[in-house]
């Protein structure tokens, strides 16, 4: 009789399979894996599925359900029409162009986009992407739930050649023109209301109206999106000049894209003696690993915005942690059973490091109403917990 080890060796592929990764490896394009990426500089190669260039931008914190890839369309060219049974949010990193959709009712729908546009592909809808320039390439970041879909069905033909149509996902015709509907949801005493914009297309995330979310830090702004009636979530947040946001933690798979401004994020697991640092500006994307605290810092002389895409929309939370976030748990102090660290509870090294970065950039702090900044700067290094002067960087240098 064969031992268990011998039996496994005789039957490779019968155990511990990951159909998504097998599919990705078979697509013949680069697979980049890091904590985060400068998406504008990643190497791409010919991707036959799209008839364009592409690469996978995988991250260590992407978790089990979410992933990201890049589509690059050369000047004057277009992708091949494709369909897929996974949801996809498209954030335009650079370039101008047009997306054409073939709708379930037989009609065709096209819309124009440019840098920092956001649009969703309605589920299993055939689409094609055109580069509108004869001189410059288009590069689009596509955050998707292909890992969830391919690992669930483990049948590539079912995912990419499925005739099933979902007309309820299309939405109103004006949702492809940049219009939509604002829905405001009150969540009870002590919890900020939710501001949700339902649409399929946002022409420019830099100028889109955001709403107060002071629970995450004074002057913070935010809006959530329901895109193409999807199970995936997206929101845009803004950090004001001279300030930073409070630390929090959540499930894996939240792909954070810097839209404008410059700064960095610190990350750590509870009990760590070191911080990890990821610097960012437009084009940078990273995913905080599961339950890892992270905190976003603006160090430039203007407000900074970022886009976060994850599994579990405000309409369809999908997992219990996302439901709790929608109910306000993400902005509730850990002292009260939530997932946010208030300023008064944070590590004293955090504000000191940010102040030094701000002074180096010549930008004044607007947080003296919260911190005794002269006293913090006067503290000798040995008085700071952990005696860490430069957190270890785990992303590309800016």
Mean pLDDT of 293-309: 98
**Per-residue pLDDT tens for 197-250?**
999 999 999 999 999 999 899 999 999 999 999 999 999 999 999 999 999 999
Q: What is the pLDDT of residue 384?
A: 62
Residue 321: which pLDDT band, with cuts at 50, 70 and 90? Answer: confident
Could you say which DSSP state residue 335 is in? Answer: G
How much is the mean pLDDT over the chain? Answer: 91
3-state helix, strand, coil in the chain (%, to 5): 20, 35, 45
CB 97 within 8 A of CB 131: yes
Homologous superfamily of 175-344 in CATH? Answer: Jelly Rolls (2.60.120.10)
**pLDDT of 138 strictly over 60:** yes
**Cα angle for residues 251, 345, 312 (degrees, 5° grid):** 15
What residue has token string 């359900």? Answer: 65
Q: How far apart are CA 136 and CA 95, in angstroms?
A: 7
**Cα angle for residues 301, 305, 310 (degrees, 5° grid):** 155
Q: How far apart are CA 299 and CA 372, in angstroms?
A: 19
Q: How far apart are CA 370 and CA 324, in angstroms?
A: 28
**pLDDT of 155 strictly over 80:** yes
Sign of CA dihedral 372, 377, 383, 384: positive
Contacts of 192 (CB under 8 A, 6+ apart): 212, 213, 214, 215, 328, 331
- Does the predicted model carry a pTM greater than 0.75? yes
CB 58 within 8 A of CB 67: yes
What is the secondary structure of 296-325 as a DSSP string? EEE-SSS-EEEEEEEE--SS---SHHHHHH
Give Rg (Cα) of the chain: 22
Residue 28: which pLDDT band, with cuts at 50, 70 and 90? Answer: very high
**Per-residue pLDDT tens for 253-288?**
999 999 999 999 999 999 898 999 999 999 999 999
Q: What is the pLDDT of residue 379?
A: 83
Q: How far apart are CA 340 and CA 334, in angstroms?
A: 5
| Phi-psi region at 36: left, alpha or beta (left = phi > 0; alpha = psi -120 to 50) | beta
**Cα angle for residues 367, 373, 376 (degrees, 5° grid):** 135
Q: How many angstroms from the chain centroid is the CA of residue 245?
A: 17
φ, ψ of residue 348 in degrees (nearest 5): -65, -20
Homologous superfamily of 15-166 in CATH? Answer: Jelly Rolls (2.60.120.10)
The candidate with the shortest Cα–Cα distance to 284, out of 309, 255, 312, is: 255
Residue 65: which pLDDT band, with cuts at 50, 70 and 90? Answer: very high
| Phi-psi region at 214: left, alpha or beta (left = phi > 0; alpha = psi -120 to 50) | alpha
Domains 15-166 and 175-344 share a fold: yes
In the chain, where the domains are located = 15-166, 175-344
**Per-residue pLDDT tens for 249-261?**
999 999 999 999 9
């Amino acid at each position: 009789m064969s031992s268990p080890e011998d039996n496994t060796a005789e039957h490779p592929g019968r155990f511990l399979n990951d159909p998504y990764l097998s599919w990705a490896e078979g697509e013949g394009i680069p697979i980049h894996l890091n904590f985060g990426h400068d998406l504008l500089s990643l190497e791409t190669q010919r991707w036959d599925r799209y008839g364009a260039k592409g690469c996978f931008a995988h991250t260590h914190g992407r978790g089990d359900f979410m992933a990201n890839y890049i589509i690059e369309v050369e000047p004057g060219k277009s992708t091949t029409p494709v369909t897929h049974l996974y949801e996809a949010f498209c954030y335009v990193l650079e370039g101008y162009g047009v997306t054409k959709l073939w709708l379930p009712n037989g009609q065709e729908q096209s819309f124009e986009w440019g840098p920092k546009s956001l649009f969703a592909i309605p589920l299993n809808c055939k689409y094609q992407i055109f580069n509108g320039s004869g001189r410059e390439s288009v590069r689009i970041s596509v955050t998707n739930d292909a890992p969830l879909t391919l690992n669930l069905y483990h049948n590539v033909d079912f995912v990419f050649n499925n005739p099933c149509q979902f007309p309820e996902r299309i939405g109103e015709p004006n949702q492809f023109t940049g219009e939509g509907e604002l829905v405001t949801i009150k969540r009870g005493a002590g919890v900020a209301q939710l501001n949700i914009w339902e649409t399929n297309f946002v022409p420019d995330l830099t100028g889109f109206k955001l709403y107060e979310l002071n629970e995450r830090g004074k002057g913070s702004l935010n809006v959530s999106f329901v895109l193409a009636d999807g199970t995936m979530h997206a929101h845009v947040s803004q950090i004001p000049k001279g300030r930073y946001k409070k630390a929090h933690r959540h499930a894996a798979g939240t792909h954070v894209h810097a839209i404008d401004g410059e700064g960095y994020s610190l990350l750590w697991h509870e009990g760590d003696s070191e911080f990890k640092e990821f610097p960012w500006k437009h084009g940078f994307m990273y995913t905080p690993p599961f339950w890892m605290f992270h905190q976003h810092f603006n160090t430039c002389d203007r407000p900074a915005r970022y886009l976060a895409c994850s599994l579990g929309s405000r309409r369809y939370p999908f997992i219990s942690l996302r439901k709790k976030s929608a109910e306000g748990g993400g902005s509730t102090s850990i002292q009260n059973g939530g997932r946010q660290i208030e300023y008064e509870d944070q590590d004293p090294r955090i504000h000191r490091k940010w102040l030094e970065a701000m002074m180096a950039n010549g930008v004044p702090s607007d947080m003296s109403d919260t911190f005794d900044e002269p006293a913090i700067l006067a503290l000798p290094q040995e008085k700071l917990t952990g005696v860490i002067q430069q957190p270890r960087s785990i992303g590309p240098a800016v």
